[in-house]
Structure 1
């Protein structure tokens, strides 16, 4: 029984009791009935308040738990995305610094600034649990007909690892972001031979075509 049913029953009880009290002719009897009526009404109101209080407490607790779980999931997702972004940025910075340092060691190059362009972020390959099944069923009917049913089920699920209260995919391989172009500004690039040496070094290091490597002289 919900709260609405209880309220309706109390209202009907009050109406019926008032109707009976109006039919009473004796003042003494009417006074006694009024006292009894008031006591019953107070008891019913008290019961209603207790039930209502418990109902709203339960509802509030459920809503709070739901929002808490949702917020926790959102926080875990945000945390995972932030870690991926930081990992990519760290890789880009390390690669840029390595290229800068190696180019500056070439005779005649001088000071160097490097910018590397990437097509996308790193790609992670998770472990896959393969569960394939194949069943063949031979059926025959009353008329002598026969048929063969071949049913195949392909099951693929990502293998997950438990880390405390969180789960994450088990990564078997990680592909670094693909480089689409490199821009280099060097002090010694005014010399055409030095510029060519810089370009060839970068092309060979990253297996890029020459048109994807731009080399410019640094402003004085």
Structure 2
């Protein structure tokens, strides 16, 4: 007797060597939604990161001087808007695929700006000067000079600073406005999906019903 799958079950087709067989896996709807959203968010974070790298530039006409390798953190606001908008659009598009969600709008609140850490060469020069006072004492004064230059890498006919690390702004809160939020189940699924994707507690995610 063949059992028909009920709602909440998915049919997975396995293809082992030789024979073809079927097996049933009990996977609830919420888990499938979270897995799909995680995959989609990974793509947008990768694209947004590349967006910010290409939008940030630091110019240094000086030649590289030999010195001590170090790193300099430079706050860059360029690209923060692109990152936020790209993340909002991708989240809205993905959440709208949840059954019953309908059209979805997403607004993010970010904390902090983009920070890029570039490789640098640091030169330190210390000059000591001795002065004899009339009382026979010796006064020593030091003049310290530190010069920091960006390490530039050549790519074709152009040069760009060597990026060591980057810190993206953190998401402080999320507002989701969805047509299907009037349904308590759909509203809860949308909220949980955002919490899992962005690692936010429930009180930082607000889901509202969209007005017709």
What TM-score does the superposition give when structure 1 sets the normalisation length? 0.47
Name the structure with the higher strand share.
2
What TM-score does the superposition give when structure 2 sets the normalisation length? 0.48
Higher relative contact order (CA 8 A, sep 6+): 2
Give the number of the structure whose alpha-carbon radius of gyration is greater. Answer: 1
